[in-house]
Structure 1
């Protein structure tokens, strides 16, 4: 089966950007619009060479209708090329007019150059041991399934030692919450809304203990009460309407706790500013009484004791021991409770390697009744690997952990390490399995898109790049990746919208700007390309790629100002940063040495 299907353009659409925002001169903008309109209809014959230029004199009527078009002296196209270009002009009539009335000219000369087609990347066929597995994964990823259904449809990791059904059991954790914040807010607007919510959450709590198919869903139901202010507002409204409700207290306490974790951040405690730690402590002080009261009212509401144990791990040994004791009394089979047991055993939280192995043995004994727990038994194997700086060094330990249990974190690390070693196919299999269980991880979505792009499957890469950008909409890196993939899968124009997004991020602005200007030069949109590169080097004057593009655009138009662009290109060239400049650099050096 071919890995890159025909008709890639039918893949999920990327929004198309129009004229580049860098064009401020109305006359240049008009010329760019004329070029783009004709180029979109030009069927370029093979006889027209890349870099050849041809000027066409247009006689236009108000409204943009083409009255006549004539090839100008010096056109470098052959007869077939000239006829094809004139046919494109006729097909594009009427040319752009509205919005350009102030600079409209009855007669104008427009230059055209053959667009540069990207070098084709032949799809690489997977090795035999992964072919069937990855074909199944690819087919599943192309279907419009929800996260749990997609997870359940996946084949298990090749070579895994997981007990039968362990992977599908892990998929239960991907089920969507029974209600959204908006659902709860709407229900609280009805006469019996709070009472109905209490009954529904009580039933879900009971099902957690009684129905294996509903295990852990009470924890998932509370996940909507996150650090967002809206979650606090809805939870507070629920508690106001049902002041005796353990379930409403849990919701508000959970919201405060998650705000506290967000305030603390993800750095080591020694690297976290005091102000963040103080803010975390203040929010935890609000959360603890509410969670403790919820647990007092409903002893089997284990999300309350689990969150209290986590807060205790950060702030109070006494609270930690008490809360974990309460959890283990009533819910010693819960994935989330035992996940906290394993976390507490980690050396960074005061535990040890022996404590982790003991926790894994405790959990393994219970995994026979609840296969989802198997995921946690692999943690001690891969824990040391988490501390490594070099991804390639951690492959043996993370592979061992991955084969033992469906642990997404270790599969992701193993896949990343394999990719660092150049083992792309095995890396793809492991990263895909990680995404089976963590489908919203933008780091792994981005990594899989990179691997797929290198392997020639731009269609699948596009879906992953779109998902990664949707998960992290403020990340310039994600939009830059999406642009690179869209460029390969759909074409130069379709890369522009995500590039504009990437240009909003200071970390990716310069390289996104480069690629943005390239989309115009690659398509032969000379006026837009020149305006874009002028703006690029004005903002980043040491950008050799900008000067190289400007030298090319001016060269094909026989513009004497090319000499300045060449001089600046040679001045700022950096082959470590732009290795593809070597050929242009050598060519310009030869031309310069040949000058009298």
Structure 2
């Protein structure tokens, strides 16, 4: 679950200088002058706004969870999304929510249909379908983004089969702007995966070379596509994605200028611009706010643009890094997520809320993310971990069973179900799931600590607890929980060496203010006759 975060941080390193370039280039796109645009909500407004009442009651939260679980039984993804409850205490725009459900789940040509057209040699007919969809997007009310959503659903992906399909389409119709744009999307998806998720110093030069080679191939196809069809918005949105990966901000801004000239209310183009301008990519919150404010001029034409309001204070960086106390958590929920948000923003908000101990907010954000992208297994696993602590024990166990069935080779699914079993008092089943997780990943620190904790605090199987705890300390000596478990065994069994454990802990971590809570807990295990090692 950390690979995606690590990759996002890595890409940002390549975009040094983006804020300055946006400051120079963006006014060319966002005309008239920004002074006449709606003023974006400043960061301090969220920081200091005090809600009049809590955003929802416990009864409203529990009803939301009941309704969300019920909606998730609907098999058709689009109908499931449309039936899903909005977050408790918020009044999301129905037009925006319905539009986003269709955007992510309702392509006008399915991936299977496109494949059949290409494999049967009927690419001319496929081109006519896409040309009609593009015409509708540019000319008909309530048809915003219909081509963009269709292209995203049909052609994103880095599989060899997808690449082979794109090559076959181009061979049959080398002058098709739709074939060239689809090929560009495929190449950028491949470049994203080719780079990998490791830090730069652990990534071979060949990975960077592969990424850049694929991005160049993407740009060749995308540039050719818009030469043939200058209004092909899907190509422009993909150009901005490629520009973000390579750090070529000027290329991305130029693509946005031409794309918005063709479709001034285009959600995909504005969304990619906001993504590229985020502070996490060395951009600036002020530039993010300027783009979002500019997009809101067109929200009546395209309600999808309301989704960008959640990013106006800096996008993912803001929700990830907010040093929020409970009141600030409520402010963010009521202000930043007053309208529906892109799935990635909801997922990030879920991670961040969980890390701050706001499990109810985390469950809401993650549930809404799953409303729009139900096959995001990492988000689903993470929500499952939180369900036992939210009075959702039955759902926690059934969700654990479903995740294990879906991903039987993923240790996180067994850990999620194991946690549900452990909290419900089914200790033997919890042990079995944690052991299965360790069969799949013997070095998994979470499963090791969870298993040791059961042995120490539930079954009092001291020898097994000692063995597992020592394994954690061997593999992950930086894990402070393992040191506390060792101290618990030495006091509870009892077993010699508690003084030495405390001394070793201080030697590794120091005894500064940040460590005093851990040291105090270990000292509390000392018999009164044992002198302090201070």
Shorter-chain TM-score bucket reads 0.5 to 0.7
**Alpha-carbon distance in 2 for matches of 1:540, 1:419:** 24
Aligned residues: 446
1:5-30, CA deviations, whole angstroms, 9 ceiling, x for partnerless residues? xxxxxxxxxxxxxxxxxxxxxxxxxx
Distance 1:356 1:406 in 2: 15
Aligned equivalents of 1:352, 1:569: Cα separation in 2: 52
2:382 to 427, 447, 452: 447
Is the contact between residue 222 and residue 251 of structure 1 (CA under 8 Å) also seen in structure 2? yes
Equivalent residue for 2:318? 385
Out of 414, 417, 423, the residue aligned to residue 479 of structure 1 is 414
Give the 3 Å change call, closer, same or farther, for CA 499–213 of structure 1 in structure 2. farther
Q: What RMSD, in angstroms, separates the aligned Cα atoms of the two structures?
A: 4.9
Residue aligning to 2:194: 263
Segments of 5+ residues of structure 2 without an aligned counterpart are 1-56, 475-481, 506-516, 528-534
**Separation in structure 2 between the aligned mates of residue 345 and residue 382 of structure 1, nearest angstrom:** 8
Partner of 2:103: 173
C-alpha distance in 2 between matches for 1:251 and 1:476: 35
What residue in structure 2 maps to residue 78 of structure 1? none
**Match of 2:440, SS?**
coil
User: Does structure 1 residue 339 correspond to structure 2 residue 268?
Assistant: no
| Aligned partners of 1:401 and 1:407 also within 8 Å | no
Q: Deviations over 1:436-481 (max 9, x none)?
A: 3343444432332233201332222235445666787664334312
The 2-side partners of 1:178 and 1:501 are apart by 41
Structure 1, unpaired ranges of 5+:
1-125, 524-528, 550-564, 590-596
Confirm or deny: 8 A CA contact 1:252 1:290 kept in the other structure. Answer: yes
Partner SS state of residue 240, structure 2: helix
Q: CA deviation at 1:516?
A: 11
From the CA coordinates, give the structure whose radius of gyration is larger: 1
Q: How does 1:304-319 map to 2 (within 5 A)?
A: 304-313=235-244, 314-319=246-251
Query: Structure 1 CA distance, aligned partners of 2:402 and 2:143?
Result: 28
Matches within 5 A, 1:412-427: 412-416=347-351, 418-420=353-355, 422-427=357-362
Matched-pair contact (CA < 8 Å) for 1:399–1:414: no
Is the aligned partner of 1:221 residue 2:150?
yes
Measure, in 2, the Cα distance between the counterparts of 1:471 and 1:392. 36
Quote the residue 1:151 is aligned against. Answer: 81
Matched with 1:130 is 61
Alignment of 1:338-377 (within 5 A): 338-349=270-281, 351-377=283-309
Change (3 A) 1:363 1:262: same
CA distance in 2, matches of 1:408, 1:185: 27
Structure 1 pair 353/157, CA: closer, same or farther in 2 (3 Å)? same
Whether contact under 8 Å (2:285, 2:313) holds in the other structure is no
The residue aligned with 2:231 is: 300
Alignment partner of 1:232 is 2:163: yes
How far residue 370 of structure 1 moved from its aligned partner, in angstroms, is: 1.3
1:402-441 counterparts in 2 under 5 A? 402-416=337-351, 418-420=353-355, 422-441=357-376
2:138 alignment counterpart: 209
Q: What residue in structure 2 maps to residue 324 of structure 1?
A: 256
Could you tell me how far 1:419 is from its partner in structure 2? Answer: 4.5
- Partner residue in 2 for 1:500: 436
- The 1:270–1:329 alpha-carbon spacing in structure 2 relative to 1, beyond 3 Å, is farther
1:230 is paired with a residue whose SS is: helix
TM-fit CA distance, 1:263: 2.5
Bigger mean CA deviation after superposition, 201-210 or 484-493: 484-493
Match of 2:122 in 1: 193
1:280-291 alignment to 2 at 5 Å?
A: 280-291=211-222
Partner of 1:248: 179
- Taking a change above 3 Å as real, the CA distance of residues 273 and 410 of structure 1, as seen in their structure-2 partners, is same
Q: How does 1:496-575 map to 2 (within 5 A)?
A: 496=432, 499-508=435-444, 511=447, 515=451
SS of corresponding position for 1:165: helix
Return the offset for 1:208.
3.1
2: distance between equivalents of 1:213 and 1:463? 39
Could you report, residue by residue, the CA deviation over 1:41-88 in whole angstroms, capped at 9, with x for unpaired residues? Answer: xxxxxxxxxxxxxxxxxxxxxxxxxxxxxxxxxxxxxxxxxxxxxxxx
Mark the CA change 1:491 to 1:397 in structure 2 (over 3 Å): closer, same or farther: closer
Residues 363 and 377 in structure 1, CA contact (< 8 A), matched pair in contact too: no
Instruction: Tell me how far 1:280 sits from its aligned partner.
Output: 1.7
Check whether the contact 1:308–1:323 (CA below 8 A) recurs between aligned residues: yes
CA contact (8 A) 1:480 1:508 kept: no
Instruction: Give the Cα–Cα distance (whole angstroms) in 2 for the partners of residues 438 and 475 of structure 1.
Output: 19
Quote the Cα distance in structure 2 between the aligned partners of 1:270 and 1:414. 29
C-alpha displacement at 1:402, in angstroms? Answer: 0.7
Contact 1:170 1:406 in 2 (8 A): no
* Structure with higher helix content: 2
**Contact 2:285 2:314 survives alignment (8 Å):** no
For 2:170 and 2:305, how far apart are their aligned partners in 1?
33
Counterpart-to-counterpart distance in 1, 2:402 and 2:148: 25
Classify 1:185/1:419 alpha carbon distance in 2 versus 1 (closer, same or farther; 3 Å). Answer: closer
Q: Is the 8 A contact 2:452 2:469 kept in 1?
A: no
